[in-house]
A and B are shown apart, each in its own frame.
Chain A
Amino acid sequence: MNVKAKEAYKKMTGRKYLYLLSISVVIFLTFILDIMTGPASLSASEVISTIFFPASSERSVQVIVWTFRLPVALMAIVTGITLGLAGANMQTILDNPLASPYTLGISAAAGFGAALAIVFGVRVLPFTDTLFVPVNAFVFSLISCMAIYGIASFKRATSETIVLTGIAVLFLFNSLLALLEYTANPEQVQAIVFWLFGSLTKTTWTTLGITVGIVLMVIPLLAMDVWKLTALRLGDDKAKSLGVNVEKMRLKGLILVSILTSTAVAFVGTIGFIGLVAPHIARMLVGEDHRYFLPFSALSGAFILSTASVLSKAVVPGIVFPIGILTSLIGIPFFVWLLLSKKRGYW
């Protein structure tokens, strides 16, 4: 390898690291801002001292920071990471820029599971009580993923069949959901609709812990495959010639995606957009190399959701404003700007 190429490579990776670092710093800032905003306004110094020395601040400030704001602010970041990773992985294994947990009906299935719990009190797993609604959502989104894969693998699992099956699943669960809403009473319909909007305010330390645990389990499994995933983006045939077992990668990917999405959706409701757009933002800025692409997708997701969390509190202070409404509203201008400012196509 000549020196020039080495230099160029170094410069390129250097830029990618710089992007990763910058977005991390920005996320940290939105995180602090997220904890500062709310019905009781707190200063940055109050926030920081309450986080590090809880005993030294007033009881009410302690409750506000530790019970209400910290879990929500952290959940925004973790859910963003989860959805960003799920979307990135999904687009890669299905080789389709339109794939996302939302467009493939996983969120719709979760919504149906939640609605089933709200309307009939039907629980699909026997032992749960406080996590009744989320567990239903979780189980149904897993079911939908398995259904997508099951139907698609009847013949040979090409990415087109998987995407089309996903769309069929989306419509199926949407009509089932409409059926449930039709039979529900007004209070329940309101609860379902609100659930579907997505909201972080239900977060507790328990649900946050579960989400973090699952993300930490999935990340190494994805990290193992960064090279194979990068190869997959060259197309099935090329990946196969490089020794990648494409079918196996696809199954593993779908399972990981379903676990990630189901977890996120179960606890915060259906938040669309992030799974679709975060990977595109990442691809435009750091390219296809999955060593950078996956972490950057995750961080873009975290950035969008954390910003939305700050803004959702500013819409009408004191009221629970569904964050799902805001994610796309704030993300789209940025996304369109990126699309227009780049000269070549990124898919």
Chain B
Amino acid sequence: MTLKYPVERFVLMDSTCTAEFSSVYGEGFDSKIVGWDNYLRENSGDMYEKYVEKFPTMAEIPDVGSLDDNTFNAEKVIALNPDVVIMPNWEFMWNGEATKEALARMDQAGIPVVFLDFYMEPLENSTKSIQLLGKITGKEQRAQDIVDYYEEKVNSVYSRLEKIQGKKPTVYVECAYNGPDTYGISYGDVAWGDIVKKAGGDNIAEPVLLNKSKALSAEYLVNQSPDIIILTGRNWSTPGSLKMGYTFTSNVTKSTMTPFVNRPGWDTINAVENRKVYGIYHGYCSDVFNFVALETFAKWFYPEEFKDVDPVDTLKEYHRKFMPIDYSGTLVYRYY
């Protein structure tokens, strides 16, 4: 299969990679997306809103369905006549059969498919994915700038961590999509759990969850009494869920986080006693911003050693340098 170069017409499967695509492509990116799924709109509505506000025509990009729920419409993709379809690697993990079938269809139609990975091995493959995007868009220099920036930040975190001796702080991460009454999933050695580990934390979920994501019991959490609690938020509609993202003020984040902190028994947990409860934007687990997540976690775990690091500044800088939309809202949050 050959790729027409430079590629002009893109279909983004997993439209949440719009952040990466637009970072790499730069000016004019919005007119190059000829089709996508509804992921960005459904799962990162706050970010979608910011894009559409600035580039109103993006609201009219056709929805081609998704492999997740069997709505992927191969015929529609072919009709849009794209030069390439960009897919996330995790489709293989979650929808293996459907992905293979879609690939076969695309193959028959002569449409090349390119896979990116910001999820399965986030801190290893993010830069490779960015470089690949650079290659197919013909924006190799921009891609290299992003990769350099990314690597500088990540390596700076790693080199500081190397010098730190002693006991690692114990950490609990919960996806706060449920209200405070029902515990949301925590992560074993995957996704957020992977970032916790790389940022020098000791993930309390790993021994029981291994590489799965499931809810821990309240009692296990209180019994483990972790040093740090991190809740992940988004613009979920679930009542009581933690609200974070491009369109939420820190007051909203604070008021939705309070009921979590007041959960029964939490007053006996080290993290609460030592006032170390934090929030982070859930989307940052599976996109290029995972370097900010790494930096943020490292700062929360070792505040002394990372005193001069400010993740919000990093975020603002990245948006200024590479993103078409401005930094806004609440993406990392310290409760106390």
Residues of B with C-beta under 8 A to A64? 219, 222-223, 265
Contact B239 A117 (CB under 8 A): yes
Residues of A with C-beta under 8 A to B22? none
Q: Does A123 contact B (CB under 8 A)?
A: yes
Return the contact of A39 from the options B181, B217, B238, B268 (Cβ within 8 A): B217
Contact B265 A132 (CB under 8 A): no
Residues of B with C-beta under 8 A to A119? 237-238
A201-B240 contact, Cβ under 8 Å, with A316-B208, A319-B208: no
Contact B178 A67 (CB under 8 A): no
Q: Does B209 contact A (CB under 8 A)?
A: yes
Residues of B with C-beta under 8 A to A123? 239
Give the number of residues in A that approach B within 8 Å (Cβ atoms): 39
Please report which residues of chain A, range 122-149, place their CB below 8 angstroms from some CB of chain B when the two chains form the complex. 123, 129-130, 132-133
The residue of chain A having its C-beta at the shortest distance from the C-beta of B94 within the complex is: A186
Residues of A with C-beta under 8 A to B82? none
Residues of A with C-beta under 8 A to B237? 119-121, 188
Closest Cβ–Cβ distance, residue B259 to chain A (whole Å):
8
Contact A40 B42 (CB under 8 A): no
Q: Does B236 contact A (CB under 8 A)?
A: yes
Report how far A125 CA is from B224 CA in the complex, Å: 38
Contact A185 B43 (CB under 8 A): yes
Report how far A199 CA is from B218 CA in the complex, Å: 13
Q: Does A347 contact B (CB under 8 A)?
A: no
Q: Does B110 contact A (CB under 8 A)?
A: no
Return the contact of B181 from the options A67, A130, A188, A313 (Cβ within 8 A): A130
Contact B42 A318 (CB under 8 A): no
Report how far A132 CA is from B185 CA in the complex, Å: 20
Q: Does B304 contact A (CB under 8 A)?
A: no
Please report which residues of chain A, range 208-257, place their CB below 8 angstroms from some CB of chain B when the two chains form the complex. none
Contact B208 A188 (CB under 8 A): no
Report how far A119 CA is from B43 CA in the complex, Å: 12
Contact B239 A318 (CB under 8 A): no
Contact B236 A39 (CB under 8 A): no
Contact A39 B223 (CB under 8 A): yes
A188-B238 contact, Cβ under 8 Å, with A63-B222, A132-B179: yes
Q: Does B182 contact A (CB under 8 A)?
A: yes
Interface size of B as a range: 35 or more
Contact B182 A202 (CB under 8 A): yes
Contact B178 A191 (CB under 8 A): yes
The residue of chain A having its C-beta at the shortest distance from the C-beta of B239 within the complex is: A132
Q: Does B175 contact A (CB under 8 A)?
A: yes
Contact A68 B222 (CB under 8 A): yes
Please report which residues of chain B, range 172-191, place their CB below 8 angstroms from some CB of chain A when the two chains form the complex. 175, 177-185
Contact A185 B239 (CB under 8 A): no
Report how far A120 CA is from B42 CA in the complex, Å: 12
Residues of B with C-beta under 8 A to A199? 182
Q: Does A194 contact B (CB under 8 A)?
A: yes
Residues of A with C-beta under 8 A to B325? none
Residues of B with C-beta under 8 A to A68? 217-219, 222, 264-265
Return the contact of B217 from the options A132, A133, A201 (Cβ within 8 A): A201
Residues of B with C-beta under 8 A to A319? 208-209, 214-217, 220
Return the contact of B240 from the options A132, A195, A317 (Cβ within 8 A): A132
Report how far A68 CA is from B216 CA in the complex, Å: 13
Instruction: Give 5 new A-B contacts, CB below 8 A, not counting A64-B265, A317-B220, A320-B214.
Output: A40-B219, A40-B223, A132-B239, A201-B217, A313-B217
Cβ contacts A to B, 19 pairs, < 8 Å: A38-B217, A60-B222, A68-B217, A118-B239, A132-B179, A133-B239, A182-B69, A190-B185, A191-B182, A191-B238, A194-B215, A201-B183, A202-B181, A204-B181, A204-B264, A317-B208, A318-B208, A319-B208, A319-B216
Where the two chains meet, the residues of A that have a C-beta atom closer than 8 Å to any C-beta of B are 38-40, 59-60, 63-64, 67-69, 117-121, 123, 129-130, 132-133, 182, 185-188, 190-191, 194-195, 199, 201-202, 204, 313, 316-320
